[in-house]
Amino acid sequence: MIAVLLALGSAVLFGAGDFAGGLAARRTPATTVILWSQALGVLLLAVGLLVIPGVFRADSLLWGAAAGLAGGVALLLFYRSLAEGSMSVAAPLTALGSAGVPVLIGVVLGERTTFLAVVGIVIALVAAVLVSAEGGRLPAWRELLGSRTTGGALAAGALFGLFFVLLAQSSSDSGLWPLAGARAASIGLMLVVAILARRALVPARAAIGTVIVAGAADMGANILFLLATRQGLLIITAVLVALYPAVTVLLAQVGLRERASGLQIVGFVAAAAAVTCIALG
């Protein structure tokens, strides 16, 4: 149950971070938002390293660095997919990949759970896709096959899922040091991309507040996810964290007065059912 609560807390923070990051990206380039939100998250990580004890291990730092590179490339591919194609194609595919890859790898690694929890995992995969259905619809097969967005969205989802898997491979006694490796790698990657793309290295003044919120929420989500994987199975924690789009959509309804589509409402109900099955399983 502790793992479930930590994973759900991570999903809430990931969703809030995405919402804040999306608002910031309306005022300043997305690459700049990612770079500075990741950098500002280091301040929260520094506090976490002091509060949560851990043994400094080179292998865990490397696992974290690999995860950071995977997550950084995933963010770039995801934003590119949104910019070049249809969000109704990119969002569901990315959500499916980020949830499905950890489940598949977890099973390969020998993780097993109860039948009720398996039912919850399947429902959660469906819920992640439905909640991400921008515009109230899911793409048809013909649209998926013919869209330039499809490949990038699938790759982004797989890399987001790989981020979860790689981070979970770190030693259980390493504390938050794997996140230090992840953040160093992702910040380095974003800095290189920003320079090569000639993006502004400093966010617009109007975006600073939301960039700070995005950075704090993202790092908090990473910390809770890492702690969750040390309390429970990867196939459980990762799939619960992948429900974060529900939080982003809810915040958009409250803060931006957007209306949820019928599919998204079904997704919310499915998400609740999935959490219940997993918790009881």
Confidence band for 222, pLDDT divided at 50, 70 and 90: very high
Lowest-confidence segment of 78-87, 155-164, 211-220 by average pLDDT:
78-87
Query: Containing domain of residue 80, as a range?
Result: 2-280
Mean pLDDT of the region 41-68: 92
Mean pLDDT of the region 91-115: 84
Q: How many domains, in total, are found in the chain?
A: 1
Distance of CA 109 to the CA centre of its chain: 22
Q: What is the spatial distance between Cα 55 and Cα 59, in angstroms, rounded to a whole number?
A: 11
Q: What percent of the chain has pLDDT over 90?
A: 28
Instruction: Please report the DSSP string for 12-40 in residue order.
Output: HHHHHHHHHHHHHTTTS-HHHHHHHHHHH
80 contacts 152 by C-beta, under 8 angstroms: yes
* Segment 234-273, tens digit of pLDDT: 888 988 998 888 888 888 878 777 677 788 888 889 889 9
SS3 assignment, position 204: coil
Q: Cβ of 86: how many Cβ atoms within 10 Å?
A: 18
The per-residue pLDDT for 89 is 65
Confidence band for 145, pLDDT divided at 50, 70 and 90: low
Over the chain, what is the mean pLDDT?
85
Res 177 pLDDT > 80? yes
Q: What is the spatial distance between Cα 128 and Cα 49, in angstroms, rounded to a whole number?
A: 32
3-state secondary structure 131-149: HCCHHHCCCCHHHHHHCCH
Confidence band for 223, pLDDT divided at 50, 70 and 90: very high
179 contacts 93 by C-beta, under 8 angstroms: no
The per-residue pLDDT for 216 is 93
Residue of 206 and 139 predicted with greater confidence: 206
Which residue is associated with the tokens 């919402």?
A: 19
Q: What is the CA radius of gyration of the chain?
A: 18
The per-residue pLDDT for 84 is 64
178 contacts 60 by C-beta, under 8 angstroms: yes
Confidence band for 60, pLDDT divided at 50, 70 and 90: very high
| C-alpha distances out from residue 254 to 16, 173, 248, 259, Å | 12, 40, 10, 9
Res 110 pLDDT > 90? no
> pTM to 2 decimals?
0.87
Mean pLDDT of the region 76-99: 73
Q: What percent of the chain has pLDDT over 70?
A: 91
